[in-house]
Amino acid sequence: MNNITLKNGLSVSPVCLGAMMFGSTTSKEDSYAILDAFLDLGGNFIDTSNNYAHWIGTGDESETLLGQWMHDRGCRDKVIIGTKVGFDRKGIGAGLKKEQIEYWCDESLRKLQTDYIDLYYAHTDDADTPMEETIEAFESLVKKGKVRHLGGSNYDTWRFTEFNFTARDKGCTPYTVMQQRFSYLDCRLDLKPNYIFNENVGRERLRYLEDKDIPLVAYSCLLRGAYEDASRIPSNYIGGARYDTLVNMAKEKGVSGSALAVAWMCNAHRMKGFPRVIPLFSSSKLNHFIDNCSGADIVLTDEEMTILTNA
């Protein structure tokens, strides 16, 4: 994998390793094997959060394991760590108030065994906290060197835009990365979102990100194996001809459906109306993860990209 340089200056791998389940359902041994393999493949972009995976543990497992791994491998300077603040942790921690951001940032730094976070996301919008308070809290972390860049996840586009407009008006650091749910298959935007915000990505959001040159880190991008087994397509996604087009092309090229989906996302910026997309995924099985990463190196012609995009 060859790194790409984002507008904010970060040099990251074209795919991002999701560490959500590391240290919980994915054992330390398996987590280390996947992390080591990712580095060997040329990957460096790793995603976690201050609440992973609180629904089956305490919410400290992922960051703690990553901190141990970076310490054991001595590789902190070789990776780009993205973590998050603002979502619920067993009924506590939700929100983007000043004291919450400051407290959880220090907790993340402690668990990660580092003195800086490369990319710090607001895990979700907090409409109950004045935006200026959130902006100033994040800016304080940047000025102290605890955080290098900011991102927004699970935002409505207009709120993300308002944050950046207000931040720049105040001379503060804007969000330079967006993380949202996105995949090759189209989601059903007619369904009510699970949250007050819309975590899914539609065409308007894609055009906005393209225009502003803001990369989209795409979580849940492989739909839990749906590109290998059509029965796994979530009910809020549309299969049909688009799915068949991808699967048939994958067979023709001798690659897995998941790898081709990764390839399409990595190359989506070549098509009008798309920003740079960075697929974020993981697996508890090393061979599956390595195969999915191979998508970053699949060569797609302009004709193939057109066929996949227009299906």
Catalytic residues: 52
SS3 304: helix
Cβ-contact 66, 34 below 8 angstroms:
no
| CA pair distance 165, 162, nearest whole angstrom | 5
Inter-helix orientation angle 240-253/302-310, to 10°? 150
Cβ-contact 239, 228 below 8 angstroms:
no
One-letter-per-residue 3-state SS of 33-95: HHHHHHHHCCCCEEECCCCCCCCCCCCCHHHHHHHHHHHHHCCHHHCEEEEEECCCECCECCC
| Helical spans, DSSP H, in the chain | 28-40, 61-73, 98-112, 131-144, 157-169, 203-212, 240-253, 257-267, 286-293, 302-310
| CA pair distance 145, 185, nearest whole angstrom | 39
C-alpha R_g of the chain: 19
Cβ-contact 85, 121 below 8 angstroms:
yes
Cβ-contact 170, 208 below 8 angstroms:
no
For residue 293, which phi and psi values (nearest 5 degrees)?
-65, -30
| CA pair distance 94, 91, nearest whole angstrom | 8
